[in-house]
Amino acid sequence: MKRSCILIGITLLLFALGILGLLHGKRRGQWVVILQNNIEIQRVALAEVTEPRIICVAGKNGEENCICITPEEVYMESANCPDGICMHMGNIIDSDAPIICLPNGVVVRILQEELP
């Protein structure tokens, strides 16, 4: 009986540590990837973002998209595209769905990747 209790305790502890590890690992391995015309132009490690950062992407014909990255949020701050749809796509930090600006050819997505 006593040995069984110890075994359960160890199992629960390992389980809890595993969950903590997964959560921690996920955050450490999150990247914000910015693509323009299907070419990756910038990759930002979220673990290194400690305060809000604005990254602006300029196109050849005057297109401009500004992406705001904070430790908690990634969203399109401003864009001069004709429809403005990308600015209404909200915060994608916990989403599989990217921010897509079709007219300006800009995509912002969150990439889960293990650190080397």
Partner 1 sequence: MKRILLLFCLLFLVGCDASPEKAESSAILMGTYVTVTLYGENKAQLQAAADGALRIAEEMERVFSFSDPDSELSCLNRSGQGTVSETLWNALEIAVECEGLSEGALCCTMGKLIDLWGIGTDHAAVPDAADISFFVPAEDAVLLLDEENRRVQLADPDAQLHLGAVAKGYAADRMAQYLRDAGVSGGALNLGGNVLTFGEAPDGEHWTVGIADPFAPDDVLMTLTGNDMSVVTSGGYERYFEEDGIRYHHILDPKTGYPAQSGLESVTIIGNCSAQCDALSTAVFVMGAQRGMELVESLDGVEAVLVTGTGELLFSSGMDAYRGRS
Task: Return residues touching partner 1 (CB under 8 A).
Answer: 1, 4-5, 7-8, 11, 37-38, 82-83, 98, 100, 102-103, 105, 107
- Judging by DSSP bridges, how do beta strands 64-69 and 106-112 pair with one another? unpaired
| Minimum separation from the CB atom of position 45 to partner 1 (A) | 21
Q: How far is the CB of 82 from partner 1 (least distance, A)?
A: 5
Query: Do 87 and 79 contact (CB within 8 A), yes or no?
Result: yes
* CB-nearer residue toward partner 1: 10 or 56: 10
If the CB atoms of residues 72 and 95 are measured against partner 1, the closer one turns out to be: 95
SS3 55: strand
**Considering beta carbons, is residue 71 or 103 the nearer one to partner 1?**
103
Cross-strand partners of 54: 68
Residue 48 CB, nearest approach to partner 1 (Å)? 25
* Least distance (Å) between residue 51 CB and partner 1: 30
Strands of the sheet with 39-45, listed across from one edge: 39-45, 30-36, 106-112, 99-101
Decide if 114 contacts 42 (C-beta within 8 A).
no
82 versus 116: smaller Cβ distance to partner 1: 82
DSSP 98: P
